[in-house]
Amino acid sequence: MSVSNLSVSQQRAVIDLFRRIAPVADELGELFAAQGHELAVVGGSVRDVFLGRIGNDLDLTTDARPERVLEIVTGWADSVWTIGIDFGTVGVRKGGWVLEITTYRSESYDPKSRKPEVAYGETLEADLERRDFAVNAMAVRLPGHEFVDPYGGLRDLGEKVLRTPGTPERSFDDDPLRMLRAARFASQLGFTVDPAVVAAMTSMAERVEIVSAERIRDELDKLICGAGPREGLGLLVDTGLAAHVLPELPKLRLEIDEHHRHKDVYEHTLIVLEQAIALEAAGPDRVLRWAALLHDIGKPKTRRYEEGGRVSFHHHEVVGAQMTKKRLTELRFPKDVVADVARLVELHLRFHGYGTGEWTDSAVRRYVRDGGHLLERLHKLTRADCTTRNRRKAQALSRTYDELEVRIARLADEEELAKMRPELDGNEIQEALGVGPGPVVGRAWKFLLDLRLDKGVLGKDAAREALMEWARGQGLAG
C-alpha cells in the first residue's frame, strides 16, 4: 500500500513523520538499499504517528543479520551499541535520534525456559505477523515510504481495539508476556481488547509464569503508570492473570453477605488509585500509585468478624507493609522503591488517630518525622483513601486534614521540621558524657530526638542538662 492510498489525515501523519526524521531515516534506508538490504520503520514508531505522538526514538527492522547491520552503520552513526545483539537488535545514535534496528525474526518460548528462542526471518510481512498486536504490525519501507499494513492495524487504531495479527493463542504461546501487554495497552492507550484475545488470556493465564520477574515488573509498572490503570488492572483480574503476577489484588475481592457488611475492598482500592492519580502534580508518580494499589492488601489476612456483624482489620497496615515489601522484592523493584511504597502502606492509617484535631504539637512532629521524605505523598495517599459516599463525612475528613497540614506548615516554619535532629550532635554527646563512639551514644541520640519531638526547640544548654539527667538515670553519670 502506498502513502497515496491513505486518507488525507493519515497521509499528513506519515508526511509529518518523514519531514521530522529526514534525512536520518532516508539516509539509512539508502545505505541499506545500496548494500542489497531492506529497511523499514516499524511497530510502535508507526502506530504513534497515527496517534499524533512522535518522539526521538525509532524502531526499524531489516533482513540484514546483526553483524551485517554493524558493518553498514559503522562510520555513519555517531555511536553504536550491541547490548541487544543476542536478540537481533543493534542500537544507533545519529544526531538527536536513537534508532533500534532489529533483524526480521520470530521468537517463541520453550515451556521449560524463561528465555525466548530467537530465529531470524526473511520477509517484512512474516516479521509483522509475529508481532504482538495488529496496531504494532504496521511498517513504512525506506527509502521509498511504502506503507505496509497486512493485518489491519490502521483499522484497529481507528476502532481503538487490540487484536493479534494471527490467532491470539499462537501469539501468546510465542511470548506469554503479550497477555500482560494487552492489559498495559488498555491502560496506556485507552483501547478495548478483542473478545477472542480476552478468551485466550483467560485460558492461557498460567503460561505467564514462565516469563521472568523483571519483564513482568516492567509491564506492570507501565500499566500502573498509564493513563487509565483501572481498565488494565480489571482485565488482569477478570482473566485470572493477576492471580499469577499480582495475587494480592484479586484477593481483595472479599465476599460480602447480609450479616457481615463492609466495603468492597477491591473496588475501594481502584477508587483510591484513581483519586491518588488525580492529586499528582507533575506526571505519573510510581511510588504513590503502587502505594495506592497495595495500601489495603493486608486486609484479607487480618479480617475478623466481631459481635454485632462488624468486621475488623486490625493492624492490616503493618501486615500490608510486609506483604508489599515481599511482592515488590519478588518483582525485582529497586530497593528504594520497595522501601518507599512499603513505608507509605504502613503509614496510610496514621492520620486517622488525629481524630478531631486533638493531637499535640509533639504528635504532629512525630507524624512529620515518620513521613520523612514521603510526607507529600503521604498527604496525597491519605486524602485519596477517603472514598465514603457520605458527603458530610468526606468534607469533615478533608477539613481535618487541612487543619493538620496547616499545623505542619506552622511548625515547619518555626522549627524546620524537615531537618529535625537532636540539638546535640554525636560529638557533643560524647563530650558531655565523657564517652567514646559506641551504643551509649546511639541511645543518647535517640533520647534527645524524642525530647526534641516532645518539647520542640529547647536550646543546647537545656538539652545538655536533660541529657545529663537521663544519663544519671541510666547509671552513666555521677
CB 61 within 8 A of CB 104: yes
pLDDT, tens digit, 9 for 90 and up, residues 196-246: 999 999 999 999 999 999 999 999 999 999 988 999 999 999 999 999 999
Alpha-carbon distance of 80 to 77, in angstroms, equals: 7
Helix axes 229-239, 195-203, angle to 10 degrees: 50
- At residue 469, the pLDDT reads 83
What pLDDT sits at residue 260?
44
The structural domains of the chain, with segments of one domain joined by +, span 3-157, 160-246, 279-417, 422-473
User: How far is Cα 406 from Cα 382, in angstroms, rounded to an integer?
Assistant: 15
Is-contact 138 147, C-beta < 8 A? yes
What letter represents residue 321's amino acid? A
Burial 250-279 (b: 16+ CB within 10 A, else e): bbbebeeeeeeebbebbebbbbbbebbbeb
For residues 52-80, one letter each, b for 16 or more C-beta atoms within 10 angstroms of the residue's C-beta and e for the rest, the string is eeeeeebbbbbbbebebbbebbeeebeeb
472 CB contacts (<8 Å, ≥6 apart)? 478
- Give the tens place of pLDDT for each residue, 394-441: 787 788 888 888 888 887 766 555 556 777 888 888 888 888 888 888
User: How many residues are present in the chain?
Assistant: 478
Per DSSP, which regions of 182-290 are E strands? 192-193
Same fold flag, 3-157 and 160-246: no
Q: What are the pLDDT digits (tens) for 346-401?
A: 999 888 776 666 778 878 888 888 888 899 999 999 989 988 777 787 787 788 88
Whether the per-residue pLDDT at 95 is higher than 90: the answer is no
Residue 261 binned pLDDT confidence (cut-offs 50, 70, 90): very low
Residue 36 Rama label (left phi>0; alpha psi -120 to 50; beta): left
Side chain identity, residue 259: H
CATH tag for 3-157 (out of 1.10.443.10, 3.30.300.30, 3.30.460.10, 3.20.20.140): 3.30.460.10
304: β partners: 312
**Model's pTM, two decimal places?**
0.79
Evaluate whether 42 touches 121 at the Cβ level (below 8 Å).
Answer: no
Tell whether the model's pLDDT for residue 307 goes beyond 90: no
DSSP symbols for 109-136: E-TT-SSEEEEE-S-HHHHHHTSS-GGG
Q: List the CATH code of the domain at 160-246.
A: 1.10.110.30
Q: How confident is the model at residue 18 (pLDDT cuts 50, 70, 90)?
A: low
Distance, CA of 152 to CA of 161 (rounded, Å): 11
